[in-house]
Structure 1
Amino acid sequence: MMPEKTTYATDWLAQAGLRPTRQRLALAELLIGDGQHRHVTAESLFESAMKTGAAVSLATVYNTLRAFCEAGVLNEITVDGSKSYFDTNTHDHPHFYWENDGCLSDAPAEQLEIARLPEAPEGAEIAAVEVVIRLRRKV
């Protein structure tokens, strides 16, 4: 038997050590309430929240997404240095960025091979490696 949607959202916030405020619960429900991973922008999440009648401002969505990232339950993927996507799958994996649609999707991790990384400069360590493969649909 599948748990109720609010259980996913409530458990997700509890595991992250985040207080389950009304706004956080509403946004968590939209992000992971069905147990599926997704990629969202702050604007797309705000739009979804408005459609469900959740009383949240765009600023609250941005602040909540930042809190979720800081708690480690979301990853932020920046494309073009300015557009941020938020991924509920926090495991290391590559992404496809679809230029025509402005969408981000998971790429098959088992097909990616990185043979070697350059050494980090002295006094630095590699914190993460993000792979975003840009795609354009053939016309």
Structure 2
Amino acid sequence: MEAFSCPTRSIDVRLRDAGLRPTRQRIALGGLLFAKGDRHLTAEDLHEEAVRAGVQVSLATVYNTLHQFTEAGMLRVLAVETAKTYFDTNTSDHHHFFVEGDSEVLDIDTGDVEVGNLPEPPEGMEIAHVDVIIRLRKKT
């Protein structure tokens, strides 16, 4: 298995800081995931990258690892399509364009969208996050 490294700090440290044990598979998948900067991908995308890189890992392990990373605050889930779940390495508050037909997700600069007039949440609840996804299609 190839060694991978996160550009800003080692993936081992990132995992420990997030409260996750740095297993061999988490380190390999995390290295692939975070080495390319901010991006959006599916479990299938990451699995394909892992296979191409010689990382022996099942698709189920990739799904489990992505969900563990999400629960630890290292990723953000984007429910863009009903058939696919996208994972975002940029966990800051921001919104997205979704290019229909290409299944491509693009970040929108944080200052470009204002969300107002949100309803009051039910008693005992608070709004944790607002996701705006603007769907695009190519002009015909």
Q: Normalising to structure 1: TM-score of the pair?
A: 0.89
Moved over 3 A (4+): none
Cα distance in 1 for partners of 2:130, 2:48 equals: 30
Provide the alpha-carbon RMSD of the alignment.
Answer: 1.6
- Corresponding letter in the other structure for 1:29: G
**Counterpart of 2:30 in structure 1: which amino acid?**
A
| Superposition pairs of residues 55-134 of structure 1, within 5 angstroms | 55-134=56-135
Which letter maps to 1:22? R
1:25 equivalenced with 2:12 (yes/no): no
Structure 2 unmatched runs, 5+: none
Is the partner of 2:79 in helix, strand or coil?
strand
Q: Secondary structure at the match of 1:119?
A: coil
Residue 11 of structure 2 corresponds to 9
1:115 Cα offset (Å): 2.5
1:8–1:32 contact (8 Å) kept in structure 2: no
SS in structure 2 of the partner of residue 79 of structure 1: coil
Bigger helix share: 1
Contact persistence 1:41–1:85 (CA under 8 A): yes
- CA distance in 2 between counterparts of 1:89 and 1:28 reads 14
Q: Report the alpha carbon displacement of residue 57 of structure 1 after superposing the two structures with TM.
A: 0.3
Which structure 1 residue ranges, 5 or more long, are not aligned?
none
Distance 1:5 1:117 in 2: 41
CA contact (8 A) 1:23 1:56 kept: yes
Equivalent position SS for 1:45: helix
TM-score, length-scaled by structure 2: 0.89
Counterpart Cα distance in 1 of 2:18 and 2:125: 28
Cα distance, 1:80 vs. partner? 2.8
Letter in 1 for 2:76: N
> Which amino acid is 2:28 matched to?
A
Could you tell me whether the CA contact under 8 Å between 1:97 and 1:132 is conserved in 2?
yes
1:55-88 deviation line (CA, Å, top 9, x unaligned): 1000000000010011011000101334210011
Kept after mapping to 2: 8 A contact 1:10/1:25: yes
Query: 2:12 aligns to what SS in structure 1?
Result: helix
SS where residue 106 of structure 2 aligns? strand
**Distance in 2 between residues matched to 1:102 and 1:66, nearest whole Å:** 21
